[in-house]
Amino acid sequence: MSNYRLAFCCLLAAASCAGDAIVVPDDSAASPSGSRLANAADCPTYSGVPGLARACMFDSNGKTYAEDGTMYVFPADPPYGARFVFEADAIPAAADVATGPGAAIGVFAAPYDVASPTQCCAEDSEANRIPADATIDASGVLVISVANAVPVGYQIAIILDFGKLYRSRIAPANGGACDLPSAELCAEMASTGFAMRFYVGALPGSAVPKGTDAGPVADGACLLSYNTALVAEGADDCCYRKGGPNTCNTTIKCNERSGGGCCLIYGTENTTDGGRCCLYAGGGHVDGAEECAQLLAAGR
């Protein structure tokens, strides 16, 4: 394991993992760490990273939550994401603000519990990467948002790789020296990162699978759906409904929106094992593999 990876993991592990989970209500009622997201000043201050003045998460109600180690359970409906406010002399170059494989910003989703000793962090697999938007303005406000819903009970992890986010400032294209405020900051940003994470809709494993205790699933209920990044905007992503034909194309490919190694087809919350990936690009382990195989083969 390289020194870069050690430093990167140490900082990542410090974010949104230490505290108890708190379920955020679906309405806009006040919560202990929440406030209305009207402007950058509503994002709480953050002193844990040089050059970073404020950091927070936000949910679909427009509320913002401090990065204080608490694992929040946000309402299931998107959008949700994170906001960062950088110090005036430590603003990343807009050209380096990008999402996707190999970029400075990665967003991942998976049904993982951060307390698990074996499978804690959504970013542990490239196959868990999901589409996200990222923008930064001239005042140094970086907003990362997820517009597509993920299955209830999933963890979303938002990862910043500072070495890539500050690439143009650490090693300017003109061959000049790093132009961050100090040599110490140049060295630190070259080898560290930052993570925020939260759950969506429910704690992992706590949603009642509708194929079991919730009673019979009605005809027409969606059982399998495509990764929304693989379908045209506005198109129905469900490819297999109970009682209907199975039109799921198991040879579909990942694209630029999904990133490589993506989840191709999801089992929905209407299946016995609940919402989770049923088919990864290139194969790979899935939860409830036996049921996934049956669903993928059924209705054809």
Q: Domain segments of the chain: what residues?
A: 3-200, 222-297
Q: Which residues contact 212 (CB under 8 A, 6 or more apart)?
A: 272
CA distances from 183 to 51, 169, 174 (A): 13, 12, 18
3 state DSSP class of 40: helix
User: Which segments of the chain does DSSP mark as H helices, in order?
Assistant: 3-13, 162-165, 167-170, 183-189, 289-297
* Token pair in block for residue 263: 């989840």
Q: Which of the pair, 23 or 61, is modelled with greater confidence?
A: 61
Side chain identity, residue 273: D
Beta-bridge partner residues of 83? 56, 143
Cβ atoms within 10 Å of 38's Cβ, excluding its own = 9
Q: Inform me whether the pLDDT recorded for 295 exceeds 80.
A: yes
More confident residue, 126 or 106: 106
Cross-strand partners of 81: 58, 145
- When pLDDT is averaged across residues 245-250 and rounded to a whole number, the result is 96
Highest mean pLDDT of the ranges 138-152, 198-212, 223-237: 138-152
**DSSP alpha helices (H): ranges in 38-170?**
162-165, 167-170
Res. 104: pLDDT tops 80: yes
Amino acid 226: pLDDT: 92
* Residue 165 CB coordination number (10 Å): 26
Is a pLDDT exceeding 60 seen at residue 212?
no
pLDDT at residue 214 in the model: 43
* Cβ burial 74-90 (10 Å sphere, 16+ → b, else e): bbbebebbbbbbbeeeb
Looking at residue 35, its pLDDT comes to 41
pLDDT at residue 211 in the model: 40
Q: What is the pLDDT of residue 64?
A: 86
Of residues 105, 243, 84, the one with CA closest to residue 165 = 105
Separation in Å, CA 138 to CA 119, 188, 207: 38, 23, 42
Mean of pLDDT over the chain: 82
pTM, rounded to two decimals? 0.65
- As a whole number of angstroms, the distance between CA 160 and CA 165 comes to 7
Specify the higher pLDDT residue, 70 or 34: 70
Average pLDDT estimate for 258-270: 82
Average pLDDT for 171-179? 92
Q: Of 5-9, 102-106, 122-126, 260-264, where does mean pLDDT reach its minimum?
A: 5-9
Sign of dihedral through CA atoms 254, 1, 68, 56? negative
Omega cis (within 30) before 79? yes
Beta carbons within 8 Å of 167's beta carbon, 6+ residues apart: 93, 96, 104
Signed CA dihedral, 136, 138, 141, 147: sign only: negative
The one-letter code for the residue type at 284 is: G
Q: Residue ranges of the alpha helices (H) in 102-241?
A: 162-165, 167-170, 183-189
